Amino acid sequence: MTDATTQIKETVTSNDVVLFMKGTKTMPQCGFSSRVAGVLNYMGVEFTDVNVLADDGIRQGIKDYSDWPTIPQLYVKGEFVGGCDIITEMTLSGELDTLFEQNGVAYDKDAAEKIREANG
């Protein structure tokens, strides 16, 4: 395993929720990263953000690690969940709530409902 792979594995296994993104949760550098970070922030989910723009090894490494070609990438309890489109769909369908509940991840149910109402 490369250093990047080791670092990625350590990050996703030692944090409940990890978002590999362009930029940071407070300053996203792309619309897709901003959307996923925005959903997590709005739902009050505690998550670790990893800025792939800060490290080329991580930027390529995460794509190899998940076998997923795009950023952002969301991990919950060490498992790859998906990118922007998948997270958006899961948020609107309520699947994301279920995933968080099954994994003991705290989130604001009312905020999740508001997102669904606004996009319903």
Strands annotated E in 67-116? 73-76, 79-82
Q: For residue range 29-75, what is the model confidence (pLDDT) as tens digits?
A: 999 999 999 999 999 999 999 999 999 999 999 999 999 999 999 99
Q: Which residue has the tokens 């990438």?
A: 73
Check whether 30 is labelled as a binding-site residue. yes
Q: For residue range 82-112, what is the model confidence (pLDDT) as tens digits?
A: 999 999 999 999 999 999 999 999 999 999 9
The two tokens of residue 11 are 């990050």
pTM given for the model: 0.96
Q: Domain residue spans in the chain?
A: 3-119
Q: Which CATH architecture has domain 3-119?
A: 3-Layer(aba) Sandwich (3.40)
The two tokens of residue 24 are 């940071």
| Residue 19 parent element (H or E) | strand 17-21
